[in-house]
Amino acid sequence: RLLRGDILMGAMVTLPTAATAEVLADTGFDWLFIDGEHGPLETGDILAILQAVGHKVSCVVRVPAGDEVPIKKVLDLGADGIIVPQVNSAEQAADVVRFARYAPEGGRGVGLARAHGYGARFQQYLETANDNVAVIVQAEHADAVENIDAIVRVPGVDAVQLGPYDLSASLGMMGMVDDPVVTAAIDRITDSCQSVGMPLGQFGVTAGAVQPYIEKGYTLITAG
């Protein structure tokens, strides 16, 4: 659905309780943004959330960094995809893809975990994971803006998630997301992604905050 351009409405999960995720899943969101970067969620919390709602709604986990261990760990738990913060170069994006894809498309470590049915669906998962796992990188730094044309052309990157607040901070305008310098950087990211058909994601605290981005063609939406 992401790759074909469907508008996917989600909400961010920052509380380490499966019940919170259950309420959101039953509300009717297309996907949940499970925040393992800024929130207090540990591995066990993420596992409990996936166990509670993974069969109801797609769950994408934001890992704390673009490193191999956190990426393979949340994917082995059964996450439908990853969001990786602070991807500022094509080289970083290629590393993320390599950590998230099994050979020959990448070098993801092979283990037995929940995603594989604890072994019962091992071969089936290995054969389908590269096609079914979403790899989303965040563009949230001035360096990412400078390198965005190369980032969006890295094979295996499925979407770019905008990070307007960190972006504004990197431009010396903390929180000033409507400043012309910041909006120009956002437009630069938008134009580059849309030139190659790369899906775009955006977060807003309210529905009104994300509506302008939907009108611009963003399809991976997080509100609330």
C-beta separation of 18 from 56 below 8 A: no
C-beta separation of 93 from 154 below 8 A: yes
CA separation (Å) from 22 to 35, 40, 57, 172?
15, 18, 10, 39
Determine the 3-state secondary structure of 83 from DSSP. strand
The CA-based angle 86-193-181, given to 5 degrees, is 65
Which 8-state DSSP code applies to residue 175? T
Q: HSE-up of 165 (CA within 13 Å, CB side)?
A: 5
Q: Which residues are catalytic?
A: 38
Q: What residues pair up with 83 in beta bridges, in sequence order?
A: 62, 136
Long-range pairs for 92-97 at CB < 8 Å and ≥24 separation? 92/66, 92/137, 93/137, 93/151, 93/154, 93/157, 94/154, 94/156, 95/66, 96/66, 96/71, 96/135, 96/137, 96/157, 97/135, 97/154, 97/155, 97/156, 97/157
